[in-house]
Amino acid sequence: ETLDAGILRLRRSGCQLAACIKLGAYLAAGQLYTMDTTAPTATLQWMEENVPVSMTAEVLPFGEVTKRCGAGSATVVHGTGRIGIGRGAGYPSHFSHLLRNWLPRFWACKDDVARAGCSTIFVPSRLHALYQQVIYEFAPKWKLVGEMETAKRNGGLNVTCTHHEMLADYYKRYQHHWVSGCVSADVVFVLRTRPVADSARDPGQASGSERRYISNPQEVWQHVERASREANLTVEQVVFEQLSFRDQMRKTCTARMVVGQHGAGLGHILWSSSSRRAVLELPPWLEHWWDHMFNTNHIAHFWSGEGHFIGRDSTNNTFAKVNAVQLGEDLRRALHALGLSQKQDASLPKASGSGHRML
């Protein structure tokens, strides 16, 4: 049987971790766990660091979940798939990873445990600033707690979410969370502020602008603005890092295209209720990182191709000087994917070759 069917069958039959140990091998989330059954207390040997920690948790009966939550236990929700930095604790520490690997699973877990009266969520204390606005946006009545408070609640007994489904099903949950009641620009250019060196900052929580930026943003903005207006589209330049999470969502609520470098800014296209949506990713990009999520939500994805200069500054941050000729061609192709015609303009240079890939 398939891996997912096997996992679901084991769980529906009430398989607890202790019982699964007897199997000698435990399959979870596409990875193989092996058990050392000779030790006094069976230990879990991790074959792959990216495996969701929650897949090893005991599956509690609904009555026990209700009992624990009634006594104040916190709910633990680990990210799914390759969650990136912070994977050891199961909580990604970059905002783009939070949007891709944690938030869809939180939605699923919240719906499951809320029926049992759970309303407290555990997040590592050092990540509270990153998670709190997201959690309160979708679960405003929930309480956020860290390690110390969690240990004091109900004798330290938690409720770890063991919800499991295919990644595509997690990603589809964004279609139920489109932002309504607002209108945004048709095209959003995501601008990163130039980084400021801060040796004391936790690198695991560094924002995208502290790792990569565009060295000629004004030139890029001029081409994005011109191409958008020629297609009779409204356009706005946005610095997401200066906005609250709610305002970030509203900035793309009806967007047709988001243009920017790899990072969480591109993921905000997921909040848009437009019927046709596209992303144009500028260098330095990370191919395939958004593929599954964008494909599942029918979002066309382009990468701006050859001809750009990528380097590192004196503080070792990556920057890109975007080639205006290539940018003009890629903008045309992205707008064409949306079914939008663009007036020919001699001031918008043409490039030979595609230099992009569409999903």
Q: Is the pLDDT of residue 14 over 60?
A: no
Which of 12-16, 24-28, 137-141, 285-289 has the weakest average pLDDT?
24-28
Q: CATH 3.40.50.720: which residues of the chain?
A: 183-195+208-337
Instruction: Yes or no: say if 294 and 267 are a contact pair by the CB < 8 Å rule.
Output: no
Tokens of 164: 């499991």
Residues 170, 104: Cα–Cα separation, whole Å: 5
Instruction: Yes or no: say if 236 and 228 are a contact pair by the CB < 8 Å rule.
Output: no
Burial class (CB within 10 angstroms; exposed 0-12, middle 13-18, buried 19+) of 149: middle
Q: Sign of dihedral through CA atoms 337, 209, 80, 37? A: positive
**What is the per-residue pLDDT across 200-241, written as a single tens digit (0 to 9) for each?**
344 444 444 457 899 999 999 999 999 899 899 999 999 999
Mean pLDDT, residues 118-128: 93
Name the CA radius of gyration of the chain, rounded.
Answer: 23
Q: Is the pLDDT of residue 110 over 80?
A: yes
Alpha carbon separation from 19 to 10, 16, 24, 37, 240 (Å, rounded):
10, 5, 10, 12, 48
pLDDT-derived band at 249 (thresholds 50, 70, 90) equals very high
pLDDT-derived band at 32 (thresholds 50, 70, 90) equals very low
**What is the per-residue pLDDT across 75-94, written as a single tens digit (0 to 9) for each?**
999 887 666 655 567 888 88
Residues 299, 347: Cα–Cα separation, whole Å: 29
Q: At what angle do helices 324-337 and 217-230 cross, to 10 degrees?
A: 40
First-to-last alpha carbon distance for the chain, in angstroms, is 30
Burial class (CB within 10 angstroms; exposed 0-12, middle 13-18, buried 19+) of 339: exposed
Residues 21, 16: Cα–Cα separation, whole Å: 9
Residues in the chain: 359
Coil, helix or strand for 54? helix
Q: Is the pLDDT of residue 61 over 80?
A: yes
Which amino acid is present at 114?
Answer: A
Look up tokens 């004091």; give the residue.
152
Residues 253, 58: Cα–Cα separation, whole Å: 39
> Quick one: fold of 183-195+208-337?
Rossmann fold (3.40.50)
Tokens of 211: 């790792």
In this prediction, residue 210 carries a pLDDT of 55
Instruction: Yes or no: say if 36 and 83 are a contact pair by the CB < 8 Å rule.
Output: no
In this prediction, residue 88 carries a pLDDT of 60
Q: Is the pLDDT of residue 166 over 90?
A: no
97-104: Cβ within 8 A, 24+ apart:
98/130, 98/131, 98/134, 98/264, 99/264, 99/267, 99/270, 100/267, 100/290, 100/293, 102/77, 102/78, 103/134, 103/138, 104/80, 104/170, 104/171, 104/173, 104/174
Look up tokens 């040796």; give the residue.
199
Which of 97-111, 224-238, 329-343 has the weakest average pLDDT?
329-343
Coil, helix or strand for 120? strand
**What is the per-residue pLDDT across 179-193, written as a single tens digit (0 to 9) for each?**
888 999 999 999 987
Q: Is the pLDDT of residue 37 over 70?
A: no
Coil, helix or strand for 238? strand
pLDDT-derived band at 297 (thresholds 50, 70, 90) equals very high
